[in-house]
C-alpha cells in the first residue's frame, strides 16, 4: 500500500472543494488499488470533510502542543480526535521556518496526537544550505531523534522526507538521493523505534510527470503533495501511477 497525501496548506474555498471532489470522482479507482488517499485540509473545512469522505484519510496541518485551555487561536489534539480526524501533519518546514517550531515543540505535538489516537505525519528535511554542505544525514538524525524522543513506540507514525529546497520550488531530489535518504531514514527509525515498517513518504514538487519514478523508487511508501494536490486532475494522475 502507498500513501498519496495532499497538503492543501492555506488554500481552497468551500466552492473549490466541491469542484475538487467532482474532479476526483471522474477517475475510476480499482477495487484492489494499492493507494491510500489522504488530504490535509485547513481547519475550517475539517468537520465537513471528516463527515464526507469515507475512504480518504482526512487530516489537519498542525496541532497545539498544549491541552485545552487559554491558548487563543490554537486547536488541540483532543479536538482533532473529537471531529473524527485520521491524521495530522507535524513539523512541516513552513511551520518550522515561518512560525519558529522547534524539534522539541514538534515532539510535544506528536505525544499529544498519540494520546488522542490521531496518526502523526512527521515532516523532516534539510535546507539547501545544509544539503550543499553535505549535512543532510546529520540534520535528519537530529530531527528524528528529537522529534521522536520518548514517544509511544507501539503506535504508528508516518514520516515524510521533504527536502526544504524541493518544496514548492519545482526542484525535486534525484531518484538516487531519494533512495539513499529514504533508506537512511528507515535505518534511523528502526534504531529509534526498535521496529521496522514505519512508512516513509517523499515530498517536494511531486507532479504527474515525476511521480512514476518517485512512487516506484525502492523504499518510498508514497508521496506528500503540496501544489499539485490543489488540482483534482493532477492529484489523481499522480495516484493513478500506482493503479
Ligand atoms: C508540501 O508542502 O508538503 C509540499 C511537498 O509542497 P509541494 O508539493 O508544492 O512542493
User: Over its length of 243 residues, how does the chain's per-residue pLDDT go in tens digits?
Assistant: 999 999 999 999 999 999 999 999 999 998 889 999 999 999 999 988 876 666 899 999 999 999 999 999 999 999 999 999 999 999 999 999 999 999 999 999 999 999 999 999 999 999 999 999 999 999 999 999 999 999 999 999 999 999 999 999 999 999 999 999 999 999 999 999 999 999 999 999 999 999 999 999 999 999 999 999 999 999 999 999 999
Please give the number of the atom of ligand 1 that sits closest to the Cα of 167: 10
Give the model's pLDDT for residue 8: 98
Give the chain's domain count.
Answer: 1
Give the model's pLDDT for residue 54: 67
CATH number, domain with residue 37: 3.20.20.70
Pocket of ligand 1 (CB under 6 A): 7, 162, 167-168, 203-206, 224-228
pTM of structure = 0.97
Give the model's pLDDT for residue 242: 95
The runs of H, that is alpha helices, within 116-174 are 128-132, 136-147
DSSP per residue, 21-82 = HHHHHTSPPPTT--EEEEEE--HHHHHHHHHH-SSSEEEES---SS-SSS-TT---HHHHHH
138 has catalytic annotation: no
162 has catalytic annotation: yes
Q: Which residue range is the domain that position 167 belongs to?
A: 2-240
Amino acid at each position: 500500500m502507498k500513501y498519496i497525501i495532499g497538503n492543501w496548506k492555506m488554500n481552497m474555498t468551500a466552492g473549490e472543494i466541491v469542484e475538487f471532489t467532482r474532479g476526483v470522482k471522474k477517475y475510476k479507482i480499482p477495487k484492489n488499488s494499492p493507494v491510500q488517499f489522504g488530504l490535509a485540509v485547513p481547519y475550517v473545512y475539517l468537520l465537513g470533510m471528516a463527515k464526507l469522505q469515507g475512504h480518504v484519510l482526512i487530516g489537519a496541518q498542525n496541532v497545539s502542543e498544549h491541552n485545552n485551555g487559554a491558548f487563543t487561536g490554537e486547536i488541540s489534539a483532543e479536538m482533532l480526535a473529537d471531529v473524527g480526524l485520521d491524521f495530522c501533519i507535524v513539523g512541516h518546514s513552513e511551520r518550522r521556518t515561518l512560525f519558529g517550531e522547534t524539534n522539541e515543540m514538534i515532539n510535544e505535538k506528536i505525544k499529544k496526537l498519540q494520546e488522542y489516537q490521531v496518526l502523526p505525519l512527521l515532516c523532516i528535511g534539510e535546507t539547501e544550505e545544509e544539503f550543499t554542505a553535505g549535512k543532510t544525514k546529520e540534520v535528519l538524525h537530529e530531527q528524528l531523534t528529537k522529534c521522536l524522543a520518548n514517544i509511544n513506540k507501539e503506535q504508528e507514525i508516518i514520516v515524510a522526507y521533504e527536502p526544504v529546497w524541493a518544496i514548492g520550488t519545482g526542484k525535486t531530489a534525484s531518484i538516487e538521493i531519494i533512495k539513499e535518504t529514504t533508506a537512511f531514514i528507515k535505518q534511523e527509525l528502526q534504531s529509534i523505534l526498535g521496529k521496522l515498517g514505519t512508512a516513509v513518504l517523499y515530498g517536494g514538487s511531486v507532479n504527474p510527470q515525476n511521480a512514476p519514478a518517485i512512487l516506484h523508487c525502492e523504499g518510498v511508501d508514497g508521496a506528500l503533495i503540496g501544489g499539485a494536490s490543489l488540482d483534482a486532475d493532477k492529484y489523481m494522475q499522480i495516484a493513478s501511477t500506482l493503479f
